[in-house]
Amino acid sequence: MSQTYYSKDHEYIILEDKVATIGITDYAQKQLGDIVFVELPEAGAELEQGGEAAVVESVKAASEVYAPISGTVTEVNPDIEADPSIVNQSAETGAWFLKMEVNNVDDLDGLMDEDAYKSYVEGLE
């Protein structure tokens, strides 16, 4: 049983038991334009909520991806490091960034569900 959350920084978090799969939303990938490079943390890294987790680069900009929750990185996606264009093609359907074991599931309380994120994004446009 999994549940999906969204952050204001345009990350999605799919929680399954205590493991969260994190990536950026389709809206975020569109805003960034052609993504040319993704820098991911190493497995084993401990991330704090709000701390820098990854960097996504387009030709003209570099954006930090902040950890939406605290936890320990268990796995990163080697495919997007090898071919960052798949983030543009399938941001929410395969181009996940990292998986982490969540320290405290309650951290997710402040995040949005799909409907809330949808209206949040509409408000931005």
Q: Which residues bind other proteins (CB under 8 A)?
A: 34, 36-37, 39, 57-62, 84-85
Q: Which is nearer to other proteins, 86 or 112 (CB)?
A: 86
Residue 66 Cβ vs other proteins, minimum distance, rounded to whole Å: 14
Q: Which is nearer to other proteins, 73 or 102 (CB)?
A: 73
Q: Put the strands of the sheet holding 35-39 in their side by side order.
A: 35-39, 52-58, 62-66
47-50: list long-range contacts, CB under 8 Å, 24+ apart: 47/71, 47/72, 47/73, 47/100, 49/107
Residue 16 Cβ vs other proteins, minimum distance, rounded to whole Å: 30
Q: Which is nearer to other proteins, 13 or 41 (CB)?
A: 41
Round to whole Å and give the CA distance between 23 and 112: 15
Residue 57 Cβ vs other proteins, minimum distance, rounded to whole Å: 5
